[in-house]
């Protein structure tokens, strides 16, 4: 009896350890991570998906009109639809943030917020990025009520209205040009007296009669009325003059930070770019670290769209599948 018990116990431990060894991890549950999870699970991999707090940027988007196949859907509902597609697939959800990711031999060691540690033969890292904000009073109440970080996502809500874009890089210039075709007037507020963005974009900006530039100016206050944004207050830095602009929408375009804080700085230092992003070597998803793949905004500093992130998730899962097949 004792010997049989021991045999079954060892068999259980062996098969558990063996199955643990076969698992792959996906970190992040935005469009990139969810798409990667679906592709990986359908390719018969045992997937562990770390969802974190589920605070994908898509959730902040009031209405999404440019995700093919899902017109006029809120960011929240689109995420719900994506999540519902995981049902019935071999995916273990861990609804906690990853706090540390490092290399352990050929495997990757992941520690979550509860201190649970597991190792994986491959990882798809899809933690996204977080848009920088000005940390002004009222910001928290005004997201989705006039305040946005994505003109492509929310621009259509401001048809014929006046809006402000804050920033002076390519994103700000592109967002201002995009919004100038929708809004009545677009103010672009930049803290210096020259734009950082490309000259061609600056030229296009100058030609657009409904774009008004406010250089050398800092936004110091977001005004609100009845729970919605009604305008901004800004200070011209050289003249020290304070003024107000009444607008219905404000778009922050002051850059973003890839969420790579949990990557061990020693193990990952060679694949992190100067802006904190993961640098890829192939297809926008393969890195110089075997078995470590990325998808979405954490590596993509160019497009930052839900649909491109979902596409990356698919590519990362297929590349991960090929990598495991080769091994
Ligand atoms: P970015 O190039 O870093 O520009 C951020 C802008 O926001 C800068 O003008 C900066 O001002 C301003 N800013 C930063 N912090 C601020 C603060 N606290 N208050 C006020 N202003 C602040 O970021 P991005 O425009 O998002 O572009 C990111 C990367 O993607 C860049 O490499 C860009 O070239 C690339 N991109 C390319 C394209 C394209 O090729 N078409 C389109 C979009 C983005 P300062 O200038 O004073 O620093």
Pairing relationship of beta strands 107-112 and 98-104 according to DSSP bridges: antiparallel
Going by CATH, does the domain composed of 2-130+256-326 fall within 3.50.50.60?
yes
CATH of domain 139-252: 3.50.50.60
CA 97 to chain centroid, in Å, comes to 15
Distance CA 270, CA 293 (A): 14
Mean pLDDT of the chain: 92
Distance 194 CA to ligand 1 centre (A): 12
Lowest model confidence (mean pLDDT) among 60-69, 115-124, 211-220: 60-69
Residue 231, φ and ψ in degrees, nearest 5: 170, 180
Residue 287 banded pLDDT, cuts 50, 70, 90: very high
Distance 197 CA to ligand 1 centre (A): 7
Q: Tokens at residue 71, please?
A: 């017109």
What does the CA dihedral 67, 73, 79, 85 come to, rounded to 10 degrees?
Answer: -80
- Whose alpha carbon is nearest atom 33 of ligand 1? 170
In short, whether 316's Cβ falls inside 6 Å of ligand 1 is: no
**Is the pLDDT confidence value at 256 over 70?**
yes
**Is the pLDDT confidence value at 14 over 50?**
no
192, 255, 300: residue to mutate for ligand 1 pocket, most atoms within 8 A of CB: 255
Q: Tokens at residue 31, please?
A: 């469009």
Residue 144, number of CB atoms within 10 A of its CB: 18
The ranges of the chain annotated as CATH 3.50.50.60 are 2-130+256-326, 139-252
pLDDT of residue 104: 96
In short, whether 196's Cβ falls inside 6 Å of ligand 1 is: yes
Backbone φ/ψ region at 240: left (φ over 0), alpha (ψ -120 to 50), beta:
left
% of the chain exceeding 90 in pLDDT: 80
State the DSSP H helix or E strand holding residue 86, giving kind and residue range, or none if neither. Answer: none
Distance CA 26, CA 47 (A): 7
Pairing relationship of beta strands 185-189 and 211-214 according to DSSP bridges: parallel
**Is the pLDDT confidence value at 1 over 80?**
no
171, 188, 216, 273: residue to mutate for ligand 1 pocket, most atoms within 8 A of CB: 171
CB contact set of 287 (below 8 Å; sequence gap of 6+): 271, 278, 279, 280, 281, 293, 294
Distance CA 142, CA 144 (A): 6
Q: In the predicted model, what is the mean pLDDT of residues 69-88?
A: 92
Q: Tokens at residue 167, please?
A: 């920033």
Q: Annotated catalytic sites, by residue? A: 150, 153-154
Residue 237, φ and ψ in degrees, nearest 5: -65, -40
Q: Tokens at residue 312, please?
A: 């990356």
Residue with the bigger pLDDT between 246 and 54: it is: 246
Backbone φ/ψ region at 276: left (φ over 0), alpha (ψ -120 to 50), beta:
left
Residue 290 banded pLDDT, cuts 50, 70, 90: very high
Q: In the predicted model, what is the mean pLDDT of residues 246-272?
A: 95
Distance 144 CA to ligand 1 centre (A): 22
pLDDT of residue 301: 87
CB contact set of 20 (below 8 Å; sequence gap of 6+): 118, 119
In short, whether 154's Cβ falls inside 6 Å of ligand 1 is: no
| pLDDT, tens digit, 9 for 90 and up, residues 197-249 | 999 999 999 999 999 999 999 999 999 999 999 999 999 988 889 999 999 99
First to last CA, the chain: 40
């Amino acid at each position: 009896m004792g010997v049989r018990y021991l045999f079954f116990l060892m068999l259980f431990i062996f098969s558990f350890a063996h199955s643990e060894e076969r698992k792959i991890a996906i970190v992040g549950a935005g469009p990139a991570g969810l798409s990667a999870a679906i592709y990986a699970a359908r390719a018969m991999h045992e997937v562990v998906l770390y969802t974190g707090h589920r605070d994908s940027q898509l959730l902040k988007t009031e209405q999404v009109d440019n995700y093919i196949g899902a017109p006029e859907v809120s960011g929240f509902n689109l995420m719900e639809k994506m999540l519902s597609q995981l049902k019935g697939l071999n995916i273990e959800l861990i609804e906690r943030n990853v706090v540390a990711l490092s290399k352990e031999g050929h495997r990757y060691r992941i520690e979550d917020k509860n201190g649970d540690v597991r190792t994986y033969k491959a990882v798809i890292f899809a933690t996204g990025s977080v848009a920088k904000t000005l940390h002004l009073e009222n910001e928290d109440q005004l997201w989705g009520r006039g305040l946005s970080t994505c003109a492509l996502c929310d621009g259509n809500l401001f048809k014929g209205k006046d809006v402000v874009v804050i920033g002076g890089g390519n994103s700000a210039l592109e967002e201002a040009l995009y919004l100038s075709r929708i809004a009545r007037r677009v103010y672009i507020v930049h803290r210096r007296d020259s734009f950082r963005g490309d000259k061609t974009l600056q030229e296009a900006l100058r030609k657009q009669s409904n774009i008004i530039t406010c250089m050398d100016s800092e936004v110091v206050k977001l005004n609100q009325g009845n729970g919605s944004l009604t305008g901004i207050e800004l200070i011209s830095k050289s003249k020290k003059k304070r003024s107000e602009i009444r607008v219905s929408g404000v778009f922050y375009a002051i850059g973003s930070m890839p969420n790579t804080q949990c990557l061990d700085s020693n193990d990952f230092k060679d694949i992190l770019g100067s802006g904190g992003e993961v640098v890829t070597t192939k297809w926008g998803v393969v890195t110089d670290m075997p078995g470590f793949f990325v998808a979405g905004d954490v590596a993509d500093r160019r497009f930052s769209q839900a649909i491109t992130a979902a596409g990356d998730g698919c590519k990362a899962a297929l590349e991960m599948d090929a990598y495991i097949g080769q091994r």
